[in-house]
Amino acid sequence: MELALAARGLAAYLPVFATVRKWSDRFKKLVVPLFPGYIFCRFDASSRVQVLKTPGVISIVSTGQTPTPVPDAQVEAVQKMLASGSPVEPCAYLKEGERVRIEEGPMAGVEGILLEVRDACRLVVAIELFQRSVSVQIHRESVVPVRG
């Protein structure tokens, strides 16, 4: 679908991650979408019909009849997380928790929710519009609380 949108002159982004899945007789490494069923696409509202006519597109995330954009900062945070080289995986959407910002390293400036899982710290970035989240393992020392 990403290529079909690009062929129409639209900027599309499908974030993916590597995972290992167990089949009945073996384990297989796969690259799968980070947000199954969603693809990011930058377009003007007047191009809505062009997007909807793309094979594989079912609908556009909207409020009423108006497409609702995902904030650029959230998309950029996902891109930085994937480019960091740290293991990235989807996780449950969270609304509560301490909001933090990474101060140094390849993910500097990324804000999210601090979460502790199995004695490891993870940063969770929520794509609020989809009610989906992505987490990445971090060092607790690299984050500071976000005030206000």
Give the DSSP H or E segment for 52.
helix 48-52
Domain residue limits, the chain? 2-67, 72-145
The CATH number of the structural domain formed by 2-67 is 3.30.70.940
Q: What is the pLDDT of residues 3-60, one digit of tens each?
A: 999 999 999 999 999 998 888 899 999 999 999 999 999 999 888 899 999 999 999 9
CA distance 83 to 88: 10
Q: Which residue is it, tokens 């945070």?
A: 77
How high does pLDDT run on average in the chain? 88
Note the pLDDT of residue 92.
Answer: 55
Residue among 29, 36, 30 at smallest CA distance from 14: 36
